[in-house]
């Protein structure tokens, strides 16, 4: 079975959801994701985004990002992101956490699952070095404690590498825990400090094949036909392609070439 290729919101971080949808559709994507900013999300933004989705017959892979704060207390803004995902028909919501206590993070994750249940939305917890959840093992422990079938794990190739994990570890996971994944390339190593990890995550990513990460090996170790979300947060691409559609097209074309060269089928 072929993988779905989706445009992640992070590839176009300076654009609003309506613009991301139109760029995705014009670039040939069938799926995309959106960053929902509570202070900018209103009835007008919803209507414009839904119109763009309909115009290009898109499916919404995810909305982001619910950031669980220290203490684990969710707010109306967190629910707004879930509600936006429900209104847009998103299959998943991306979650990260600043709360170091696994139990409190799990309680918040469980509540997010309840909020997303009317749309059968999966609530995918991502681990990365600039949050309190920095490894796959920690994320899996929280998901187990959340004790809800909608709770899921999100693998991002660059964060997977930074946590020191190996592709073989993914083969041990239950496929049901992994509703989709984020892929990109980048530098094999990164300095071990917050500033370096932050720059690495938001500026230094590249398309698969343009860096030194084991992207193909990671994809092959994941469940067959898992949707692939292209998370290319790249200053180089932002500078080279200020136009949203041109950037989306460049990212899609470069990634398709790499995936096809490595025998990874996408649609």
Helices (DSSP H) in 28-101: which residue ranges? Answer: 43-55, 76-88
pTM of the complete model: 0.97
Question: How many other CB atoms are found less than 10 A from the CB of residue 77?
Answer: 14
The residue whose two tokens read 């979300």 is 229
Tokens of 67: 């950031």
Q: What does the domain layout of the chain look like in residue ranges?
A: 5-261
Q: Residue-wise pLDDT tens for the chain (267 aa)?
A: 799 999 999 999 999 999 999 999 999 999 999 999 999 999 999 999 999 999 999 999 999 999 999 999 999 999 999 999 999 999 999 999 999 999 999 999 999 999 999 999 999 999 999 999 999 999 999 999 999 999 999 999 999 999 999 999 999 999 999 999 999 999 999 999 999 999 999 999 999 999 999 999 999 999 999 999 999 999 999 999 999 999 999 999 999 999 999 999 998
> How many other CB atoms are there within 10 angstroms of residue 189's CB atom?
11
Quote the distance between the C-alpha of residue 67 and its chain's center.
13
Alpha helical stretches, state H, 69-214: 76-88, 102-116, 136-146, 157-162, 194-202
Rounded to whole angstroms, what are the CA distances from 73 to 77, 142, 146?
11, 16, 15
Q: Which residue has the tokens 């190996």?
A: 166
Specify whether the backbone of 119 is left (phi greater than 0), alpha (psi in -120 to 50) or beta. alpha
Q: Looking at domain 5-261, what is its CATH homologous superfamily?
A: Divalent-metal-dependent TIM barrel enzymes (3.20.20.150)
């Amino acid at each position: 079975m072929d993988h779905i290729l989706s445009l992640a919101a992070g590839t176009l971080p300076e654009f609003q959801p309506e613009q991301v949808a139109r760029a995705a559709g014009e670039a040939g994507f069938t799926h995309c994701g959106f960053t929902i900013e509570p202070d900018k999300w209103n009835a007008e933004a919803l209507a414009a985004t839904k119109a763009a989705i309909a115009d290009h017959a898109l499916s919404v892979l995810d909305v982001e990002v619910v950031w669980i704060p220290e203490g684990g207390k969710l707010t109306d803004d967190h629910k707004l992101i879930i509600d936006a995902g429900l209104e847009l028909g998103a299959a998943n919501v991306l979650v990260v956490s600043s709360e170091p206590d696994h139990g409190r993070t799990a309680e918040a994750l469980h509540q997010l699952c309840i909020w997303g249940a009317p749309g059968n939305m999966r609530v995918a917890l991502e681990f990365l070095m600039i949050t309190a959840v920095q490894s796959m093992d920690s994320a899996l422990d929280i998901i187990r404690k959340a004790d809800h079938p909608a709770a899921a794990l999100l693998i991002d190739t660059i964060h997977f590498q930074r946590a020191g994990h190996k592709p073989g570890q993914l083969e041990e996971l239950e496929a049901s825990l992994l509703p989709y994944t984020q892929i990109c390339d980048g530098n094999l190593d990164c300095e071990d400090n917050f500033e370096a990890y932050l720059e690495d995550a938001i500026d230094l990513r590249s398309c698969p094949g343009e860096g030194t990460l084991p992207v193909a090996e990671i994809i092959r170790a994941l469940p067959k036909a898992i949707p692939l979300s292209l998370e290319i947060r790249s200053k180089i691409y932002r500078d080279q392609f200020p136009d949203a559609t041109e950037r989306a097209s460049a990212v899609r074309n470069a990634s398709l070439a790499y995936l096809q060269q490595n025998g990874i089928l996408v649609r």
